[in-house]
């Protein structure tokens, strides 16, 4: 199998791009104090999406979608690459129009909005004077890791219209496809001849509303831990990682066969599907079938060559 896995995704759809970004993307700024001129500071901006090298094919398709950018090494230690756009001109022409029309559905949207503000200030040369630089520095104070839990929780709650532990927002299947490609995992829990197969996805508890939206999209599954998702304090005091668990294998297979995973993760899905089919045939109750299932599991996910 070619390590640049690109079997299915030939032309990305806009909501696939946003789903991938919600899962694996970042709106990045950097600042140093070696800049010239009256401010003495230098800013640079970057939109990026990262992937393991074995799935770098999707990064080239992002490059094709935006019609610009580059694919480069992101981190040698983690064997990751990134698609990124750093040109302010291209960010204004390509990135901002996309995300204005197809916004991120997680609290990452807040980072995008602040990042966009910085882009617009820089487009007006505001970063070259003391007043503009002060405005940028003020924006940075509340971005990314500096943003409060309450702001992130309340944004998702409002944007997805969370009330009574339900949301009103209807997810695009293409967004779900892209998001699951980045964040979903296909599990098989084995205990003797007992096999439980599931699709699972974790998110920080401040983004629990997106897990509720996924639960409603698939019309099933559950979120753990259980609490009143409408209550900020209960959410804040829950586990930092909330998880959507879905075990309706027939529905999962129907969806993923129609909307395949866009990276090498599709190979894990195909192995997961084999195990489901073996179980449905009762072969997990035979010595040979159980041995085959254990062999397949041993080579899935992080164990895949």
Q: Kindly indicate the confidence band of residue 9, based on its pLDDT and cuts at 50, 70 and 90.
A: very low
Q: What are the φ/ψ torsions at residue 86 (nearest 5 degrees)?
A: -120, -20
Beta carbons of 206 and 235 less than 8 angstroms apart: yes
Count CB neighbours of 52 within 10 A: 16
Instruction: Give the Cα-Cα-Cα angle 163, 173, 114 (nearest 5 degrees).
Output: 65
> Is the model's pLDDT at 126 over the cut of 80?
no
pLDDT tens-digit series, residues 138-173: 998 888 888 999 999 999 999 999 999 999 999 999
Output the pLDDT for position 40. 60
What is the DSSP track for 59-108? HHHHHHHHT--EEEEEETTTTEEEEEE--HHHIIIIIHHHHHHS--SSTH
Give the strand pairing for 42-52 and 80-85: antiparallel
Residue 6 contacts residue 61 (beta carbons within 8 Å): yes
Mean pLDDT along residues 276-280: 95
Residues 6+ apart with CB under 8 A from 82: 48, 49, 50, 51, 59, 71, 72, 73, 74
Q: For residue 30, give Cα distances in angstroms to 134, 206, 249.
A: 15, 25, 44
CA dihedral for 253, 257, 258, 260, sign (positive or negative) = positive
pLDDT at residue 127 above 70? yes
Assess contact for 23 and 76: CB atoms under 8 A. Answer: no
Backbone angles phi, psi at 87, to 5 degrees: -70, 125
How far apart are the two ends of the chain, measured CA to CA in Å? 10
pLDDT digits (tens, 9 = 90+) for 290-305: 999 999 998 887 878 7
Domains for the chain: give ranges and CATH numbers.
14-147 (3.10.28.10), 166-303 (3.10.28.10)
Q: What is the enclosing helix (H) or strand (E) of 2?
A: none
Q: Please state, rounded to an integer, the average pLDDT across all residues of the chain.
A: 91
Q: Beta-carbon neighbour count of residue 51 at 10 Å? A: 26
């Amino acid at each position: 199998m070619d390590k640049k896995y690109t079997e299915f995704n030939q032309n990305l759809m806009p909501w696939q791009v946003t789903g991938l970004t919600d899962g694996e993307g970042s709106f990045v700024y950097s600042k140093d104090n070696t800049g010239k001129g009256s401010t003495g500071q230098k800013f640079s901006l970057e939109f990026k999406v990262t992937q393991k090298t074995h799935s770098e094919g999707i990064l080239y398709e992002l490059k094709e979608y935006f019609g610009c950018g580059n694919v480069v090494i992101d981190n040698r230690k983690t064997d990751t690459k990134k698609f990124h756009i750093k040109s302010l001109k291209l960010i204004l022409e390509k990135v901002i129009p996309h995300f204005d029309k197809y916004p991120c559905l997680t609290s990452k949207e807040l980072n995008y909005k602040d990042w966009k503000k910085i882009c617009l200030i820089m487009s007006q040369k505001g970063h070259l004077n003391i007043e503009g630089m002060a405005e940028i520095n003020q924006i940075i104070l509340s971005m990314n890791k500096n943003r409060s839990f309450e702001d992130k929780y309340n944004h998702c709650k409002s944007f997805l219209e969370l009330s009574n532990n339900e949301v009103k927002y209807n997810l695009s299947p293409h967004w779900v496809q892209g998001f699951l490609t980045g964040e979903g995992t296909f599990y098989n829990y084995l205990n003797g001849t007992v096999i439980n197969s599931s699709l699972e996805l974790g998110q920080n508890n401040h983004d629990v509303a997106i897990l509720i939206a996924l639960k409603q999209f698939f019309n099933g599954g559950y979120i753990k831990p259980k609490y009143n998702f409408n209550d900020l304090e209960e959410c804040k005091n829950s586990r930092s990682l909330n998880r959507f668990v879905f075990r309706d294998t027939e529905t999962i297979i129907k969806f993923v066969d129609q909307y395949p995973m866009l990276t090498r993760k599709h190979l894990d899905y195909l192995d997961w599907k084999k195990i489901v089919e073996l179980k449905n045939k009762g072969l997990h109750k035979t010595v040979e079938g159980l041995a085959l299932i254990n062999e397949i599991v041993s080579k899935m996910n992080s164990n895949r060559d």
